[in-house]
Structure 1
Amino acid sequence: MGVTLVFGAGDFSVTLGGFAVGGIGTATLAAILLYQLLGLRRRDPVTMPLDGGSGRH
Protein backbone atom coordinates (compact mmCIF):
# COMPACT_ATOMS: atom_id res chain seq x y z
CA MET A 1 0.00 0.00 0.00
CA GLY A 2 2.88 2.35 0.70
CA VAL A 3 4.18 2.09 -2.86
CA THR A 4 0.84 3.10 -4.32
CA LEU A 5 0.55 6.06 -1.94
CA VAL A 6 3.98 7.32 -2.92
CA PHE A 7 3.19 6.93 -6.63
CA GLY A 8 -0.09 8.80 -6.28
CA ALA A 9 1.11 11.57 -3.99
CA GLY A 10 4.37 12.09 -5.88
CA ASP A 11 2.56 12.30 -9.23
CA PHE A 12 4.78 9.54 -10.62
CA SER A 13 4.29 9.28 -14.37
CA VAL A 14 5.18 6.62 -16.94
CA THR A 15 5.35 7.21 -20.69
CA LEU A 16 5.24 4.30 -23.13
CA GLY A 17 5.49 5.52 -26.70
CA GLY A 18 2.80 8.14 -27.15
CA PHE A 19 0.82 6.98 -24.10
CA ALA A 20 1.41 8.60 -20.71
CA VAL A 21 -0.04 7.57 -17.37
CA GLY A 22 0.47 9.87 -14.41
CA GLY A 23 -0.41 10.19 -10.74
CA ILE A 24 -3.49 8.23 -9.79
CA GLY A 25 -3.35 6.09 -12.94
CA THR A 26 0.16 4.90 -12.15
CA ALA A 27 -0.80 4.28 -8.52
CA THR A 28 -3.81 2.22 -9.59
CA LEU A 29 -1.75 0.11 -11.99
CA ALA A 30 0.91 -0.41 -9.31
CA ALA A 31 -1.72 -1.53 -6.79
CA ILE A 32 -3.23 -4.04 -9.22
CA LEU A 33 0.18 -5.37 -10.22
CA LEU A 34 1.39 -5.72 -6.62
CA TYR A 35 -1.85 -7.41 -5.55
CA GLN A 36 -1.47 -10.00 -8.29
CA LEU A 37 2.24 -10.58 -7.71
CA LEU A 38 1.94 -10.91 -3.95
CA GLY A 39 -1.10 -13.17 -4.34
CA LEU A 40 0.96 -15.74 -6.24
CA ARG A 41 2.50 -16.94 -2.97
CA ARG A 42 -0.89 -17.42 -1.30
CA ARG A 43 -1.72 -21.09 -0.81
CA ASP A 44 -5.40 -20.83 0.04
CA PRO A 45 -7.77 -18.71 -2.02
CA VAL A 46 -9.22 -15.72 -0.24
CA THR A 47 -12.80 -16.38 0.84
CA MET A 48 -15.24 -13.80 2.05
CA PRO A 49 -17.68 -14.72 4.82
CA LEU A 50 -21.28 -14.82 3.72
CA ASP A 51 -23.87 -12.57 5.22
CA GLY A 52 -25.64 -14.45 8.02
CA GLY A 53 -29.05 -13.08 7.06
CA SER A 54 -28.89 -14.03 3.38
CA GLY A 55 -29.62 -17.73 3.92
CA ARG A 56 -26.85 -18.77 1.53
CA HIS A 57 -24.21 -21.29 2.59
Structure 2
Amino acid sequence: MAMLNLRLHLENRRILAENERLRERAGALHRENLALRANLCKAAPPPAEAAPGC
Protein backbone atom coordinates (compact mmCIF):
# COMPACT_ATOMS: atom_id res chain seq x y z
CA MET A 1 0.00 0.00 0.00
CA ALA A 2 2.85 2.41 0.79
CA MET A 3 4.33 1.85 -2.68
CA LEU A 4 1.00 2.67 -4.30
CA ASN A 5 0.72 5.86 -2.24
CA LEU A 6 4.26 6.85 -3.18
CA ARG A 7 3.62 6.18 -6.86
CA LEU A 8 0.39 8.20 -6.80
CA HIS A 9 2.06 11.01 -4.87
CA LEU A 10 4.87 11.24 -7.42
CA GLU A 11 2.42 11.14 -10.32
CA ASN A 12 0.37 13.89 -8.68
CA ARG A 13 3.47 16.07 -8.24
CA ARG A 14 4.40 15.50 -11.89
CA ILE A 15 0.90 16.49 -13.00
CA LEU A 16 0.95 19.61 -10.81
CA ALA A 17 4.34 20.63 -12.22
CA GLU A 18 3.11 20.11 -15.78
CA ASN A 19 -0.03 22.11 -14.98
CA GLU A 20 2.08 25.01 -13.71
CA ARG A 21 4.29 24.86 -16.80
CA LEU A 22 1.23 24.88 -19.07
CA ARG A 23 -0.34 27.75 -17.08
CA GLU A 24 2.83 29.82 -17.59
CA ARG A 25 2.87 28.96 -21.30
CA ALA A 26 -0.80 29.94 -21.64
CA GLY A 27 -0.07 33.27 -19.96
CA ALA A 28 2.84 33.92 -22.31
CA LEU A 29 0.69 33.08 -25.34
CA HIS A 30 -2.08 35.34 -24.06
CA ARG A 31 0.33 38.25 -23.67
CA GLU A 32 1.74 37.59 -27.14
CA ASN A 33 -1.78 37.49 -28.56
CA LEU A 34 -2.61 40.85 -26.94
CA ALA A 35 0.56 42.40 -28.35
CA LEU A 36 -0.13 41.06 -31.84
CA ARG A 37 -3.70 42.36 -31.72
CA ALA A 38 -2.45 45.78 -30.63
CA ASN A 39 0.00 45.83 -33.55
CA LEU A 40 -2.73 44.71 -35.94
CA CYS A 41 -5.03 47.48 -34.76
CA LYS A 42 -2.28 50.07 -35.25
CA ALA A 43 -1.71 48.92 -38.82
CA ALA A 44 -5.40 48.36 -39.60
CA PRO A 45 -7.09 50.10 -42.52
CA PRO A 46 -9.91 52.64 -41.96
CA PRO A 47 -12.54 51.68 -39.34
CA ALA A 48 -14.97 50.13 -41.84
CA GLU A 49 -12.39 47.46 -42.65
CA ALA A 50 -10.64 47.29 -39.27
CA ALA A 51 -9.90 43.96 -37.67
CA PRO A 52 -12.43 42.73 -35.09
CA GLY A 53 -11.64 43.78 -31.55
CA CYS A 54 -9.92 47.06 -32.46
Larger Rg: 2
Q: Compute the TM-score of the two structures, normalised by the length of structure 2.
A: 0.40
Higher helix proportion (structure 1 or 2): 2
Between Structure 1 and Structure 2, the one with more strand by share is: 1
Which protein has greater RCO, CA pairs closer than 8 Å, 6+ apart? 1
